[in-house]
Amino acid sequence: MSVRTRVLAAVVSLSALGLAVAGGVAFGLQRGEISQNIDDSLRRSVEEFNTLAEIGIDPETGREFTEAAQLVRTAMARTAPAVNEGMVGIVDGRVQLAANSSVPLRLEQDHELIDRILSMPQTDRIVLTSVETEQRMYRVVAVPVQLSSDPAQSTFVLAFDYDAEMAQLGGIFRAYMLIGLAALVLIAGVGWLVAGRLLAPVRLLRETAQNITETDLSRRIPVTGNDDLSELSRTFNEMLDRLQSSITAQRQLLDDVGHELRTPITIVQGHLELQDVQDPQDVESARSIAMDELDRMRLLVDDLVTLAAADRPEFARLRPLEVGQLTDDVLDKARTLGDRCWTVDARAEEGWLLDPKRITQAWLQLAANAVKFSAPGSQIALGSRAAHGQLRLWVRDEGAGIAPEDQQRIFERFRRGSNSTRAEGSGLGLPIVSAIAAAHGGQVELASAPGHGSTFTIVITDQQPEQEDAI
């Protein structure tokens, strides 16, 4: 079952439940009101009868009532029954008085009702009760009548056809049910259209996901509005952007690695095929070349492993370090890289959260690059400075410099500047430096011009520890 169908089913079910509850409550309240109105009408009739009995004067003759039957007859003549109301007068156990022919409800014709009334205990108390017979349900009031001047026992009986009263209410609620059914059909139709419109981004998301292939990640979901589904579409598009970038980078990496590995393999294979196994000098030369190329391949693999680990949380294990001491340690290690005039431009005397192994690796990589592209005896300076929430670690050289068009490209994997050759490295040194900087929440900046040397700076932001931790 689709989401659209489930949403529509839920809406229709809740609407039906709401209509049923509202209708049931209204029906119960209306039924109670009708019952109350019936009882109030019967009580008013009894009060009118009691008033007539208390006066004790027959309005027609002006004389006192001497017979109970005469009092009941006069009361019946003065009572105007409601539509579903009837009345009878019972004298000495027999129905002797009946309502005039204009009253449709003929109580005297329902013998079961009369028998039930006659079977009631003979008391002087007025009885208001419900009586159910084979014909219908009645709401009955029986008023016993006894005069001192008349030994006969009489009863004035008024009754409502309860079923007929409720039938009117039933008709109203049958109409309510039909209207409610029509409302549910309307709700279902409108809900189907609205749900389809609201869930259109989900449908597009599904269709887009189905149409995405390994070779085509370019499809995106159109985004309109600012609701949750629009935000879902934006998030899905962003995920596709990251996925496409990741797959593109992966393909590029595989292509570049294949190219970089193919060259040393070809060189080794060519020298092994052409070597003269009878010539020791030729064999030694081929061996030397093969070992050199294998070392280059090992370096490439090591660099690739480092880059692959750069995205892991545990790549950089930060702890408080004294930046000044770190500067001195890196300078001591850098002196062994080449015959240069090694100096310190500045030395930060502060503590910072750093991974000593990774940050030293990145700093020495920049120093090695400076040695590679500068002349023997030239100056190479290291420096560190902490200010305005930033830690800056740099290497400055007096080498050939980097052309503007190469300054972005050299940070890409396997990309080299115009001044470099294949023999000068794997092309992964600066990408590794950038990855280490990123793991510290920073970046690498470059200031260079051809013929004026270069300055590479690792900039790390807001990683200063508490003063008591910077020991």
- CATH number of 281's domain: 1.10.287.130
Classify 331 as helix, strand or coil: helix
407: tokens are 């300054």
> At which of 244, 278, 309 does a domain end?
309
Compute, in degrees rounded to 10, the torsion defined by CA atoms 287, 290, 296, 300. -140
Instruction: Give the pLDDT score at 137.
Output: 92
Q: Residue 467's pLDDT band (boundaries 50, 70, 90)?
A: very low
34 and 155 part of one domain: yes
Instruction: Give the pLDDT score at 423.
Output: 41
Greater confidence (197 vs 374) lies with: 374
Residue 153 has pLDDT above 50, yes or no: yes
Residue type (1 letter), 109: Q
Q: 26 in a domain, yes or no?
A: yes
Q: 247 in a domain, yes or no?
A: yes
DSSP conformational letter for 84: T
Residue 227 has pLDDT above 70, yes or no: yes
330 and 242 part of one domain: no
Q: Which residues pair with 131 in a beta bridge?
A: 138
Name the helix (H) or strand (E) containing 165: helix 162-198
- To which residue do tokens 């300054």 refer? 407
Name the helix (H) or strand (E) containing 320: strand 319-322
380 and 408 part of one domain: yes
378: tokens are 């030239």
Question: Percent of the chain having pLDDT more than 90?
Answer: 28
Query: How many domains are contained in the chain?
Result: 3
User: Do the Cβ atoms of 455 and 395 come closer than 8 Å?
Assistant: yes
Classify 142 as helix, strand or coil: strand
129 and 32 part of one domain: yes
- To which residue do tokens 């690792």 refer? 458
DSSP secondary structure string for all residues of 202-229: HHHHHHHHHH--SS---------SSSHH
For residue 405, count other CB atoms closer than 10 A to its CB: 9
Q: 469 in a domain, yes or no?
A: no
309: tokens are 């680990």
User: Do the Cβ atoms of 7 and 182 come closer than 8 Å?
Assistant: no
User: Do the Cβ atoms of 455 and 396 come closer than 8 Å?
Assistant: yes
User: Do the Cβ atoms of 311 and 253 come closer than 8 Å?
Assistant: no
23 and 126 part of one domain: yes
Residues 459 and 443: their CA atoms lie apart, in Å, by 5
Greater confidence (319 vs 122) lies with: 319
The 10s digit of each residue's pLDDT in 431-451 is: 889 989 998 989 999 999 888
Residues 461 and 259: their CA atoms lie apart, in Å, by 37
Instruction: Give the pLDDT score at 176.
Output: 86
Is the pTM higher than 0.85?
Answer: no
C-alpha closest to that of 335 among 375, 303, 381? 381
C-alpha closest to that of 426 among 249, 253, 309? 253
327 and 260 part of one domain: no
410 and 337 part of one domain: yes
325 and 305 part of one domain: no
Structural domain containing residue 247: 228-309
- To which residue do tokens 């950089």 refer? 316
Q: Residue 148's pLDDT band (boundaries 50, 70, 90)?
A: confident
Q: Which residues pair with 393 in a beta bridge?
A: 384, 458
Report the half-sphere exposure of 11 (CA within 13 A, side-chain side).
Answer: 19
> At which of 309, 341, 368 does a domain end?
309
User: Do the Cβ atoms of 240 and 217 come closer than 8 Å?
Assistant: yes
**Average pLDDT, stretch 298-312?**
75
Instruction: Give the pLDDT score at 283.
Output: 84
Q: What is the domain-level CATH number for residue 155?
A: 3.30.450
Classify 146 as helix, strand or coil: strand
Residue 465 has pLDDT above 70, yes or no: no
In angstroms, what CA-CA distances link 61 with 57, 66, 104? 8, 12, 29
Q: Which burial class, exposed, middle or buried, applies to 423 when counting CB atoms under 10 A from its CB (0-12, 13-18, 19+)?
A: exposed
299 and 395 part of one domain: no
Per DSSP, the chain holds a count of helices (H) and strands (E) of 10, 12
Instruction: Give the pLDDT score at 471.
Output: 34
278: tokens are 């009878």
User: Do the Cβ atoms of 179 and 164 come closer than 8 Å?
Assistant: no
Q: Residue 160's pLDDT band (boundaries 50, 70, 90)?
A: very high
DSSP conformational letter for 337: G
336 and 453 part of one domain: yes
249 and 352 part of one domain: no
**Average pLDDT, stretch 195-200?**
79
Residue 457 has pLDDT above 90, yes or no: yes
C-alpha closest to that of 146 among 69, 46, 52? 69
305 and 431 part of one domain: no
Residues 251 and 244: their CA atoms lie apart, in Å, by 10
Instruction: Give the pLDDT score at 288.
Output: 86
Residues 96 and 21: their CA atoms lie apart, in Å, by 49
> At which of 136, 168, 200 does a domain end?
168
Classify 354 as helix, strand or coil: strand
User: Do the Cβ atoms of 244 and 215 come closer than 8 Å?
Assistant: no
Q: Which segment of 246-250, 266-270, 397-401 scores lowest on mean pLDDT?
A: 246-250
Q: 189 in a domain, yes or no?
A: no
The 10s digit of each residue's pLDDT in 404-426 is: 888 888 887 766 655 554 445 56
Helix axes 68-78, 3-55, angle to 10 degrees: 130
Strands (DSSP E) contained in 306-407 are 319-322, 341-346, 351-354, 379-387, 390-397
**Average pLDDT, stretch 330-349?**
93
- Please provide the average confidence, as pLDDT, over all residues in the chain: 84
Q: Which segment of 42-46, 211-215, 360-364, 371-375 scores lowest on mean pLDDT?
A: 211-215
